[in-house]
Amino acid sequence: MKNILLLTTGGTISSRPTEEGLAPAGDKDPILSYLPTLKRVYNITVKGILNLDSSNIQPEEWQLIARSIYSEVKNYDGIVVSHGTDTMAYTASMVTYMLLGVPIPVVFTGAQLPIEHPLSDGIDNLRTAFAMAASGKKGVFLAFNRKIMLGCRSVKTHTTDFGAFDSVNYPLVGVVNGGGLSLEERFIPNISHEFALRDSLCRKVFLLKLTPGLDPAIFDMLMDMDYKGLVIEAFGSGGLHFIRRNLIEKLHAASQRGMAVVVNSQCLYESSNFALYQTGQKALEEGAIQSYDMTTEAAITKLMWALGNCQHLYGVRDIFSKNLAGEINEHM
């Protein structure tokens, strides 16, 4: 039997009703009572490392999760991390970068209903996650609704539907069906990085979604607040307005101040393409960094991670020009 470690962090899957709504159960995590059937298939060790609604999982928790995984990699065939759904895609993306080259499967999962609910999806999600953790396929993945996707391609797209996550701009790595766990190994990146814990990050990164007529002064505010990085969700293929309210001009000022500005599309699917329109070409001329077909979650965590590991803007640009773990289509 494969040796699998389950790291619990709270989230809906571990929650119980309280007077203030659902909240993680803590030391009496209900997941534990649903593991006997899985223990007949796997040697399971359980460690509780957090007890949080995922809305409260922040950069400090990302570091704790990555360090907890790193310290146990040599002891297990695979690791499952139970996590709240709301920020799971952010955590899975960041852990992908922090643990580049991880030699075993690391699989995030959770649930839309607490595992004690009679209609919970949590049991199926755990079964899928454990099957992937026992597969021997190295990398960081997310298992949900009998689907396996790369952690850095996952996006939460539904609030209550059991199909809560989509693999955006990238095929599913695998599915569970009548034949068991069926993997598409050609879609699992062959990561050549030497495995190491790289958990430094920069918290001074801001996400800005453009709206028509946005006041360019917001760039001045962010620079005055000493933000080091900015991810802009631009229009369509990467458009920013420059008539009357000149956002392009502010890109130049931000770049001169050493701020890394990454621009991606508000559109969930397909890629930004700065060469297509005048506005995009102007943005490139003033120092914008393209995110290509990355998800917003993968782009903002990659920027935080890059700024934490590079002292100069050219180093950040170099990192964003490379596909590290499947977050960018290599043909872009």
91 is catalytic: no
Burial class of residue 116 (count of CB atoms within 10 Å of its CB; 0-12, 13-18, 19+): middle
The answer to whether 105 touches 132, Cβ cutoff 8 Å, is: yes
Mode of pairing for the β-strands spanning 174-177 and 147-150: antiparallel
Cα dist from 112 to 11, 121, 141, 148, 163, whole Å:
9, 7, 18, 16, 9
* Long-range contact pairs involving 165-168 (C-beta distance under 8 Å, separation at least 24): 165/85, 165/88, 165/89, 166/268, 168/268, 168/269, 168/295
Per the residue annotation, which of 12, 87, 96, 295 is the catalytic one? Answer: 12
Q: Which structure tokens are listed for 171?
A: 């095929």
Residue linked to tokens 């539907």: 161
Q: Which structure tokens are listed for 212?
A: 């028509």
Catalytic annotation, residues? 12
